[in-house]
Amino acid sequence: MSAFKKEYISNTLKKASSNPLIKNMIIVGLVTFVIKVLAFYKETMIAGSFGLSELLDTFLIAMLVPSFIQSIFINSLKNIFIPNYISDIKSGGVKSSFQSIVFIIVFGICSLSVLIAFLSTDAFIHLIYPGHTDAYYQLIKDQLFYILPCLFFWGISSVLHGLLEIENRFLIATIPDIFPILTMIFFLVFLKDELGHLVLAIGTLTGSTLGFLIMLFFSLKYNDLVLGRPKVNDNVKLMVRQLPPKISSSFLSALNNYVDQFFAAQLVAGSITAISYGIRIPYFGIAIVIMALGSVLLPHFSRMVNEDVRSAYKYLFKVLKIVMITSSILVVIAIFMSDWIIEILFERDKFTHEDTLKVSLIQKIIFVHVPFYLCTLIIVKFLTSINKNSFMAWISLANLIINLVLNIIFIKYYGVYGLAISTSLVLIISSCFYFGYTYNLYKKLK
């Protein structure tokens, strides 16, 4: 019986490792893990070099608008570009024409964003961060001057990244993300004194440029990038129509983080930090899993829905079942080990055992929604592949309203723990809505 089990496990592992989809997920997951570790090391270097300084504060403020534009607008375009591009190719469309349209849209978004950011910087920083010196505001503007051009490199790289993913070049698509981190580390070690207060901004620009050039090199090498005369067809029109709801969904989802920070700021000192530490480990795991699954599944779903939509739904439900069962088992283990995890990672110096217990309880509450949140993110990829972005915009609005209401109720009785309870409940409720909507779509298929 033991030999039979070993043989069964061995055969299952061999079968899984030979599956291109699983292999790609493993590749992306491992590379993403390395990137996250390097990024964490980079953050420790920045913290060690600048501490809680004015320079670091002004750099983070200068990064605020460009990074917001990237996460809301550029990433939204990438997500709707992939399924509609695949659909266009399947229906006999011209690659070069569709790609040209997408690059024109990206360039337009980036140009308009840079212009607005450049013209409104003075008013924005004085309104949001009043009461500082002229030198403080000038430091923000000096760094913003170098960071704003990054938007063009981020935008074009995002589309190139999508093109490589569509052609199943996941390793090549992911590796360039390492170079901006390595570039910043290099600048901090060797050029910090020479560049002075601009080291972080110039390091960001140089790293973004290098990452873009590497992505461009591979896209040209494999002939994935082919530009031609732009031509608007039905798939292009559908993609453009999907952009506003996708942007709205991303924007409303991002607002939830600001809402939670606002409520945390109303509590006793240290509440924001406690929440920050409490979500760090669960969301570190979520980031790796969803990068591994999401990056591979979006183009895979997009192909499947163009070939056999019913099979695509069945495959989605199979993936959800595996993710829910596997992540639930891991979450139960993580909850039992939560105290030990926080103690090992953070308990030293001024971080007391009492702090460990507080952060650990928050972490346990956050862990509860992890399986549901992972399933939601996978469903979002599927709904994106079938252009159901309007529904996601409405759900994001509902999540924001529910989050506000639950924050008010639970914080009154449970303080900072109530904030964590509210977050978990919102994401669990949202997951149920997403699954119910998707299953209802499946039932309506003839």
pLDDT higher than 50, residue 196: yes
Average pLDDT over residues 109-120: 85
Compute the distance between CA of residue 187 and CA of residue 210 in angstroms, rounded to an integer.
13
Do 233 and 88 meet the contact criterion of CB atoms below 8 Å apart? yes
If one compares 14 and 71, the residue with the highest pLDDT of the two is 71
How far is C-alpha 332 from the geometric centre of its chain's CA atoms?
A: 25
Q: Note the pTM of the prediction, 2 decimals.
A: 0.78
Of 427, 414, 283, residue with least CA distance to 361 = 414
Q: What is the pLDDT of residue 11?
A: 53
Euclidean distance between CA atoms 199 and 55, whole angstroms:
10
The number of residues in the chain equals: 446
Residue 120, both tokens? 């409104």
The answer to whether 403 and 260 are in contact (CB under 8 A) is: yes
Distance (Å, rounded) from C-alpha 103 to C-alpha 212?
A: 14
429-444 mean pLDDT: 92
Q: Which residue has the higher pLDDT, 95 or 11?
A: 95
Question: Where do we find the tokens 């809301």?
Answer: 72
Cβ-contact 227, 99 below 8 angstroms = yes
Q: What is the pLDDT of residues 283-340, one digit of tens each?
A: 878 877 777 777 777 787 788 888 888 888 998 899 899 889 999 999 999 999 988 8
pLDDT at 59: 81
pLDDT of 46 over the 90 cut: no
Instruction: Determine the Cα angle at 148 with ends 143 and 154, to 5°.
Output: 125
Average pLDDT over residues 203-224: 92
Q: 131: left (phi > 0), else alpha (psi -120 to 50), else beta?
A: left
Give the C-alpha separation, 298 to 386, whole Å. Answer: 10
Name the pLDDT band for 104 (thresholds 50, 70, 90).
very high
Q: Which residue has the tokens 């390492």?
A: 178
* Top-confidence residue, 202 or 285: 202
Res. 226: pLDDT tops 70: yes
Distance CA 437, CA 102 (A): 30
Cβ atoms < 10 Å from Cβ of 414 = 14
Q: How far apart are CA 12 and CA 103, in angstroms?
A: 43
pLDDT value for 426? 92
Instruction: Tell me if 247 sits within 8 A of 396, measured CB to CB.
Output: no
pLDDT digits (tens, 9 = 90+) for 341-360: 888 877 766 667 887 888 88
Residue 201 vs residues 8, 63, 325, 327: alpha-carbon distances, Å: 54, 9, 44, 38
Domain boundaries, the chain: 49-231, 255-443
3-state secondary structure the chain: CHHHHHHHHHHHHHHHHCCHHHHHHHHHHHHHHHHHHHHHHHHHHHHHHHCCCHHHHHHHHHHHHHHHHHHHHHHHHHHHHHHHHHHHHHCCCCHHHHHHHHHHHHHHHHHHHHHHHHHHHHHHHHHHCCCCCHHHHHHHHHHHHHHCCHHHHHHHHHHHHHHHHHCCCHHHHHHHHHHHHHHHHHHHHHCHHHHHHHHHHHHHHHHHHHHHHHHHHHHHHCCCCCCCCCCCCHHHHHHHHHHHHHHHHHHHHHHHHHHHHHHHHCCCCCHHHHHHHHHHHHHHHHHHHHHHHHHHHHHHHHHHHHHCHHHHHHHHHHHHHHHHHHHHHHHHHHHHCHHHHHHHHHCCCCCCHHHHHHHHHHHHHHHHCHHHHHHHHHHHHHHHHCCCHHHHHHHHHHHHHHHHHHHHHHHHHHCHHHHHHHHHHHHHHHHHHHHHHHHHHHHCCC
At residue 8 the predicted structure's pLDDT band, cuts being 50, 70 and 90, is: very low
pLDDT value at 192 more than 60 = yes
Q: Pick the range with the lowest mean pLDDT from 40-54, 201-215, 396-410.
A: 40-54
- Give me the pLDDT at residue 60, please: 76
Average pLDDT of the chain to the nearest whole number: 82
In the structure encoding, which two tokens stand for residue 325, read together?
């069962």
